[in-house]
Amino acid sequence: MEKQFNVPPVVFPSGSGGLPQQRRAPTAVPPPFQPPRPSNNNLPFMSFDVGSAVPSTSFSNPVFGANTTSGTIGGYGSGFDDELPLLEELGINTRQIWRKSTSILNPIRVNTNLHEDADLSGPFLFLMAFGLFQLLAGKLHFGILLGWVTVASLFLYVVFNMLAGKNGNLDLYRCLSLIGYCMLPMVILSAFALFLPQGGVIVMGMAGVFVLWSTRVCTRLLVELASCGDEHRGLIAYACCLIYVLFSLLVIF
């Protein structure tokens, strides 16, 4: 006898078309985004790797102070050792002012070669010193000093060139320089007058000595530095004496 087996029927879900379901292959997960690297390694771009802590760079270490063997920094300009002092860049030569001042202190032997290059730094310093001593004496004469020096230079310039005629080569700038440097005896007089009674005989006698000192020095410098001055030495000395007598009156009275 044959045995019979009861097999349950197979039921398929609707919409499957009677075909068994197939498993789908898992899709591949795309890798994280990475920026493209430059093809030329010489370009100064930085490339970063995702997940790395240290970035890679193509920059080279900077070099400072290159080409310093010739006294230049990077080939541009000169070094600090080659720079001139600030006073010399402004046209103020302290050594020259000191030499000119010491030459004025000796009225017998005046070195005229030092005064060939005229400047206004020393005269301005002497005028400020003269005004400061006058201020200590209770007199405010800064404006008067600057005005009188300007008028005195114009007066001496006109007188000398009228005497010399067409051969005169004295300019106004040199007049300002010489009159200003010869003010050094007047500065010394104003300093001594602080310790002497005002308007006394001693001050007047000292004023006469210092006026002759300034007159002699200024006359000699003008005669030797300008042409055609020997013929009119007396008239030039008279004009210089009038100038310094006016400044001495500020000290006396």
What confidence tens digit (pLDDT) does each residue in 135-152 have? 999 999 999 999 999 999
Q: How many domains does the structure of the chain reveal? A: 1
Give me the domain span that covers residue 165.
112-252
What confidence tens digit (pLDDT) does each residue in 42-94 have? 555 455 454 555 554 454 555 444 444 444 444 444 556 667 677 666 667 88
Residues of the chain above pLDDT 70, percent: 64
Tell me the pLDDT band of 2, cut-offs 50, 70 and 90.
low
> Is residue 252's pLDDT more than 60?
yes
pLDDT number for residue 162: 87
Domain membership flag for residue 10:
no
Separation CA 53–CA 124 (nearest Å): 69
pLDDT number for residue 71: 46
Domain membership flag for residue 117:
yes
Separation CA 91–CA 110 (nearest Å): 24
CB 72 within 8 A of CB 78: yes
The single-letter code of the amino acid at 56 is S
pLDDT number for residue 5: 59
Domain membership flag for residue 188:
yes
Domain membership flag for residue 237:
yes
What confidence tens digit (pLDDT) does each residue in 219-230 have? 999 988 887 767
Mean pLDDT of all residues in 234-245? 94
What confidence tens digit (pLDDT) does each residue in 143-181 have? 999 999 999 999 999 988 888 877 778 889 999 999 999
Domain membership flag for residue 195:
yes
First-to-last alpha carbon distance for the chain, in angstroms, is 167
Separation CA 248–CA 253 (nearest Å): 9
Domain membership flag for residue 28:
no
Residues of the chain above pLDDT 90, percent: 44
Domain membership flag for residue 80:
no
> Alpha-carbon torsion 19, 21, 22, 28, what sign?
positive
